[in-house]
C-alpha cells in the first residue's frame, strides 16, 4: 500500500510537522475567501497543524477541519480550540454541505487511480457554484520523497483533463516555484475549480 509510509511519517512526526516554521499561504487564502460569501461553510481537507483553519475561522468563516492523521488532528485542535475530524479523503460523504473546499498540499497524497473518485466526492460535498482550492507538487509520474511520503506528482495537463472529465467548471491551474517541508525547490500547481 503506497500510503502506509505516508501515514507513518505524519503520525510519528506530528509535533515537528505541526510546529514547523511555515509561512501561511496568505495570498492563496485571501483569493479563495474572496470567492465566498461572508460566513460561508468551508471544508478543509488535510488541515495539518491547523494554521489555515485558524486563519479562515478568524475571518468569520464556518470551517470544518479534517486530517487523516489522528496525531496531527490533536495538534490542530490545540491551536484552533475545536475538534478536528479524523478522516481519509476517500471517506468524505457529504452532499451539498459546503460552499468551499480548501485542500492545501493534501490531495497530492491520493494515489493517482483514486483521485477521480476523491474529486467526485468533493464535488458532491460542494453546493452548486461552490469552489475548490488545491495544490499539488508537479511531475510526470507518481513516487515518494526522501521521507518516504507518497505523491501523485501530476502535470497541469493531466489534472486539467481529470477535472474537465469530472464535470468541474471554471478550472484554473497556475504554477509557481517554492519549497516544501523537505526544503527542496518544488514546482507547485495551484488549482481552482467550481462545481
Any idea what the CATH number is for the domain that residue 119 is in?
3.40.50.150
Q: Residues 149, 5: contact at Cβ < 8 Å? A: yes
Q: Among candidates 174, 142, 172, 140, which has minimal Cα distance to 158?
A: 140
Q: What range defines the domain where residue 184 resides?
A: 4-194
pLDDT in tens, 114-145: 999 999 999 999 999 999 999 999 999 999 98
Tally the domains of the chain.
Answer: 1
Write the pLDDT tens digit of every residue in 15-72. Answer: 777 777 778 899 999 999 999 999 999 999 999 999 999 999 999 999 999 999 999 9
What's this model's pTM, rounded to 2 decimal places?
0.93
- Closest CA relative to residue 163, chosen from 106, 99, 108, 120: 120
CA distances from 117 to 8, 24, 85, 109, 123 (A): 24, 29, 20, 14, 10
User: Are residues 65 and 76 in contact, defined by beta-carbon separation less than 8 angstroms?
Assistant: yes
pLDDT at residue 137, as a whole number:
96
Weakest mean pLDDT among 21-25, 134-138, 170-174, 190-194: 21-25
Task: Return the C-alpha cell found at 110.
Answer: 491520493
Amino acid at each position: 500500500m503506497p500510503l502506509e509510509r505516508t501515514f507513518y511519517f505524519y503520525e510519528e512526526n506530528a509535533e515537528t510537522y505541526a510546529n514547523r516554521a511555515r509561512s501561511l499561504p496568505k495570498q492563496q487564502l485571501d483569493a479563495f475567501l474572496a470567492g465566498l460569501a461572508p460566513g460561508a461553510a468551508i471544508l478543509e481537507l488535510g488541515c495539518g497543524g491547523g494554521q489555515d483553519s485558524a486563519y479562515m475561522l478568524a475571518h468569520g468563516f464556518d470551517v470544518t477541519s479534517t486530517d487523516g492523521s489522528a496525531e496531527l488532528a490533536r495538534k490542530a485542535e490545540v491551536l484552533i480550540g475545536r475538534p478536528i475530524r479524523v478522516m481519509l479523503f476517500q471517506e468524505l460523504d457529504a452532499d451539498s454541505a459546503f460552499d468551499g473546499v480548501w485542500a492545501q498540499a493534501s490531495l497530492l497524497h491520493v494515489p493517482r487511480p483514486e483521485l477521480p473518485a476523491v474529486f467526485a466526492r468533493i464535488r458532491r460535498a460542494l453546493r452548486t457554484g461552490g469552489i475548490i482550492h488545491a495544490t499539488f507538487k508537479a511531475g510526470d509520474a507518481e513516487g515518494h520523497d526522501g521521507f518516504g511520503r507518497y505523491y501523485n506528482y501530476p502535470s497541469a495537463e493531466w489534472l486539467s483533463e481529470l477535472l474537465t472529465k469530472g464535470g468541474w467548471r471554471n478550472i484554473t491551474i497556475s504554477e509557481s516555484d517554492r519549497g516544501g517541508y523537505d526544503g527542496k525547490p518544488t514546482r507547485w500547481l495551484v488549482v481552482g475549480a467550481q462545481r
